[in-house]
Amino acid sequence: MVSSDISTASPRKLEGKVAIITGGASGIGESTARLFVHHGAKVLIADVQDKLGQSLAMDLGPPEIVSFVHCNVTNDSDLENAVDTAVSRYGQLDIMYNNAGIGGNLDTTILNSDNADFKKVLEINLFGSFLGAKHAARVMIPARKGCILFTGSVAASISGDLSYAYKASKHAILGLNNNLTVELGKYGIRVNTISPYGVATPMVTSGMQMDKKAAEEFMSAAGNLRGAILEPEDMDKKAAEEFMSAAGNLRGAILEPEDVARAALYLASDDAKYVSGLNLIVDGGHNHNHPLFGATDSLAN
């Protein structure tokens, strides 16, 4: 059921709307599915994690409100089927949230970057988002309305020690976002991206072939949000706090997966009816801070 920390007394912002969320069975996608259903949307969870997706759908409501469809975003026919299923089951498609993605190999050197891994990351993160947008546009253009969202990353706003494949895929998402904004605006379709700071969920850490300790060390060294914590929903609160306690620049603030879901809620709702082409960065100011600032503080002390 919807957890109390994302339940509010505000009006249901997505009443009468239908959404597809790729990668919706876990992580940010799961949080978004919960929040969208809470705000009145009918949601189709699209994922390759069948058991998790089916269980989540059953937890959130009856099939008339929320359901699951198997969807490998690299497969054109799977996304075609997801869109067609949403329309046939719920009558329309208002929101397409292209959220599915992977981190890939964490190696940050060009000589050690694996060619097969590079292709796989781009195929899922970029090509999957392209296919999702393409099939959503197929039904939104005749309706002359709709909202297409992407999950980007703060990695597209910073430079340095980052995987070439992941960084390239998230930069490309912004290019996709910008082109679609111009083309689809004439049909009343809005297009936006949400770019969060990293959330080290078990799925991400396993995809990066890192254990929890290695992920903690990496994110602690890379972090910039002092006194704040990025809490992956698949870890308990204490573990999440320990995970990100060394990071931070925005003192006293806590970033949770539900915060990313709330960003998606805003962009999907009529509150953002004239917002299109935006890259909404949810990172506590990480992209504005340069490592030199920390080095200067150390010298001063």
Q: Name the residue with higher pLDDT: 262 or 224.
A: 262
Rama region for 187: left / alpha / beta (φ>0; ψ in -120 to 50; rest): alpha
pLDDT given for residue 76 in this prediction: 99
Write down the domain spans for the chain. Answer: 11-197+256-282
pLDDT given for residue 247 in this prediction: 53
Cα separation values, 226 from 137, 158, 213, 251, Å = 41, 18, 20, 6
Examine the pLDDT at 210 and tell me if it is beyond 80.
Answer: no
Q: What number of residues does the chain have?
A: 301
* Catalytic site includes residue 166: yes
* DSSP codes, 231-246: --TTS-HHHHHHHHTT
Cα separation values, 188 from 143, 144, 263, Å = 9, 5, 21
Q: Which two tokens stand for residue 195?
A: 């770019």
Amino acid at 207: G
d(CA 84, CA 99): 18
Q: Name the residue with higher pLDDT: 211 or 284.
A: 284
Cβ contact 258:6 at 8 Å: yes
- Residue range 95-116: mean pLDDT, rounded: 93
d(CA 152, CA 99): 8
Sequence-separated (6 or more) residues with CB below 8 Å from residue 238: none
* Catalytic site includes residue 153: yes
* Catalytic site includes residue 170: yes
Q: Name the residue with higher pLDDT: 11 or 294.
A: 11
Cα 208 to chain centroid distance, Å, stands at 17
pLDDT given for residue 237 in this prediction: 45
Examine the pLDDT at 159 and tell me if it is beyond 90.
Answer: no
Give the active site residue among 166, 167, 195, 276: 166
Give the active site residue among 26, 31, 67, 153: 153
- pLDDT interval class at 178 (50, 70, 90): very high
Cβ contact 137:184 at 8 Å: yes
d(CA 86, CA 105): 34
d(CA 46, CA 64): 16
Give the active site residue among 163, 170, 195, 276: 170
Cβ contact 280:193 at 8 Å: yes
pLDDT given for residue 256 in this prediction: 78
pLDDT given for residue 5 in this prediction: 52
Amino acid at 169: S
Classify domain 11-197+256-282 at the CATH class level. alpha beta
Q: How far apart are the first and last CA of the chain?
A: 49
Residues 222-255: pLDDT tens digits?
544 444 444 444 444 445 444 543 454 566 666 6
Residues 112-156: pLDDT tens digits?
999 999 999 999 999 999 999 999 999 999 999 999 999 999 888
Cβ contact 60:39 at 8 Å: no
How many CA atoms, within 13 angstroms, populate the side-chain half-sphere of residue 24? 32
Q: Which SS3 state, helix, strand or coil, does residue 10 take? A: coil
Q: Which SS3 state, helix, strand or coil, does residue 263 take? A: helix
Nearest alpha-carbon partner for 98 in 174, 41, 185: 174
pLDDT given for residue 249 in this prediction: 56
Examine the pLDDT at 55 and tell me if it is beyond 70.
Answer: yes
